[in-house]
Amino acid sequence: MNAMKGHTDSYLVSPQAKTEMLHILSYLEDFGDELETSIELFAPNPHFRMTLHLIRGHLEAKTVTPTSLIGASQVPYATANRRLKEMVESGLIEQRPRTQTGKSFSMHPSEKMLEQWMQLSGRVGRLAEARFGGRDRSRDNKDYYYGGSYLSAKSIPPLKVLPEPLKAPGGIRVLVHGDPTFMVMDNLKRQFEQVIGSPIHQRAFSIDRLREEAMRNAERKVSRYDIIALDLPWVGGYAERGMLMPLDEAMDIARLDPADFHAAGWQAAHWGGRPYGVPAQTTPELLFYRKDLFAEAGLEPPATTGDLLEAAAALHAPGRGRYGIAWNAARGTALGHTVLMTMADFGQPVLNLPEIAGGFGTDHLSDHDYRPTIDTETGLQAAEFLMNLLDFSPPDILSMSWYERVRPYAAGKIAMAYGYTLLAPYFELDETSPAFGQTGYLPHPAGPGATPVAPVGGYMMGIPANLPPERVAAAVEALIVFTSPGAQKLYVQNGSRTNPRFSVGADPEVRRASQIFEAVDNMSWRDELQFWPRPPVPEICDIIQICGEEFHDMLRGIVTPRQALRQAQDRADALMRQIRTT
């Protein structure tokens, strides 16, 4: 047999499409059994039997070997072996070495076979429905379930099975955040293992524990992880501590197709002009709002902070169990993020960044020529806006953080909520949610004289600096696979609502999954996607914590807005002095 000549398409699809394809496959298997057992002169068709076995193994991410194919053929060994060779030589089956000797192979359907299979399964499904009746579906639904829409969406090809398994003894080890997108990746682990030819071991932590574990890992002589995920604002601190390997030392950056990433997400992965990671999630914080409630009240979507307060007041009905708006107000990290983003809504970053076209410049942050800018008149406007929001928020707002603000929105108890797009599955994938199909997506409404901003959040994936040299090549290849357009599309098909790439947002199937992707793409083109609201300096986590503590006291009525600003400014200044003198 010929060795595998090129990449093989690993046809990874959404759960609905895979279920339908397996139904068709099972029908063909059963129909073949009936023909061969009911009519005396009918004999097994080895080409057909091996094709069904190979496609099933591919869809279920099970290893298929020449021996298992021959066994599935239901014909004598010599005959089956000849037919298998014919299928390999005709380009229907491709092989990948399973061992270093190259004497053992796994078998995979080629792109040619997959396309022929999709055409066959689509025709079988339509013929069965036409002749025997069935579920009432629109043409669009039929095409979706039987693969028509997939084949017409040529902008993103399916993931490729790598021609050689990755050489990473023990498998690829990944440290991630325990959010919905990374959990989708974990659910698809078997399929990704098939693509890279290596086991994947993924550990997931909450945001604070993720950073702690990365710090501990950096102190080890040898990294426990091949790839680590980090929140975008952490890149400066990780780079300065020597925790990450500059990617341009490990790989040809052009392989990532940088121009395909949303500019804000790609720029946020840099420090000192060098890339330290690849955007794995670009998830801006947006304003979610109930379009049906706005229509009933005769309200327009809010464009300014004043509009937002008016809408929140109009839709706030505690007596009916509904509140105007939810947001991150829990003490510490959660509220600290809100403070920085609210200051950005009023046109001010938390550091004295230079103003440039479309926002504020961050290119020279590695020079450390910056200082905190919290106690300003613009900062006061932001603080007073947060105080006003309290009047239209649920009673437990001061303990609400990332998930707590979106769950009640999904339950219909909140009319508006600030939330990252990665949390949209709470209502987009739940048909029982009152917000299902009724949610609009906006950038943050702007304060007086400012422009709307969609602060970019999310995670990038990088390679630890203390990874042994002999594992770097495998880590690079895995990183490329995990962040590729094909992988990102797969995450969306399985429930993710984050996306760092233009090509994925433009894919027809992705567009049908959620209006979020078109909305975010439009925000990117309008320069509303910005990462300067949380500048990635080494001190950012401490600044966020300081703001989250001082402003929480303000919201509780312990200090006034001016006192909160002054105290936060003093603590941030002291932090900078301490760091720069040690």
Q: What is the pLDDT of residues 29-64, one digit of tens each?
A: 777 777 777 676 667 788 888 888 888 887 777 788
The single-letter code of the amino acid at 45 is: N
Distance between alpha carbon 474 and the CA centroid of its chain, in Å? 22
What is the rounded radius of gyration, in angstroms, for the C-alpha atoms of the chain?
A: 27
Query: Quick check: helix, strand or coil at residue 563?
Result: helix
The DSSP annotation for 67-89 comes to HHHHHHH-S-HHHHHHHHHHHHH
Question: What's this model's pTM, rounded to 2 decimal places?
Answer: 0.73
pLDDT of res. 28: 80
pLDDT of res. 152: 40
Q: How many angstroms separate the Cα of 48 from the Cα of each of 52, 123, 305, 484?
A: 6, 16, 64, 33
pLDDT of res. 582: 67
Write down how long the chain is.
582
pLDDT of res. 133: 57
Rounded Cα gap, residues 60 and 52, in angstroms: 12
Query: Quick check: helix, strand or coil at residue 329?
Result: coil
For the beta carbon of residue 471, count every other beta carbon within 10 angstroms: 21
pLDDT of res. 40: 64
Helix (H) or strand (E) holding 160: strand 159-161
Q: How many angstroms separate the Cα of 422 from the Cα of each of 281, 316, 325, 497?
A: 8, 26, 19, 5
Rounded Cα gap, residues 56 and 28, in angstroms: 12
pLDDT digits 0-9 by tens, 274-326:
999 999 988 999 999 999 999 999 999 999 999 999 999 999 999 999 999 99
The four Cα atoms 415, 420, 422, 426 give a dihedral, to 10 degrees, of: -20
Asked if residue 472 lies in contact with residue 463, where contact means CB atoms within 8 angstroms, the answer is yes
The four Cα atoms 564, 565, 569, 575 give a dihedral, to 10 degrees, of: 40
Q: For tokens 């990473």, what's the residue?
A: 168
pLDDT of res. 170: 94
Asked if residue 422 lies in contact with residue 353, where contact means CB atoms within 8 angstroms, the answer is no
For the beta carbon of residue 378, count every other beta carbon within 10 angstroms: 18
Rounded Cα gap, residues 508 and 547, in angstroms: 42
Helix (H) or strand (E) holding 96: strand 93-97
The single-letter code of the amino acid at 324 is: G
End-to-end CA distance of the chain: 65
Asked if residue 461 lies in contact with residue 483, where contact means CB atoms within 8 angstroms, the answer is yes
Q: Dig out the tokens for 50 from the structure.
A: 């091996």
pLDDT of res. 13: 52
pLDDT of res. 41: 60
Domain with CATH 3.40.190.10 in the chain: 165-280+457-514, 285-451+539-580
Q: Which of 413, 421, 434, 418 is nearest to 515 (CA)?
A: 421
For residue 263, give every residue at least 6 positions away whose Cβ sits within 8 Å of its Cβ, in sequence order, or none.
524, 529
Asked if residue 545 lies in contact with residue 332, where contact means CB atoms within 8 angstroms, the answer is yes
pLDDT of res. 402: 86
Q: Mention the CATH class of domain 285-451+539-580.
A: alpha beta
| Strand 172-177, strand 439-442: pairing | unpaired
Q: Is 165-280+457-514 a domain of CATH 3.40.1010.10?
A: no
Q: Is 8-152 a domain of CATH 3.30.70.3340?
A: no
Rounded Cα gap, residues 373 and 369, in angstroms: 13
Q: Within the chain, which residues score under 50 in pLDDT?
A: 1-11, 135-154
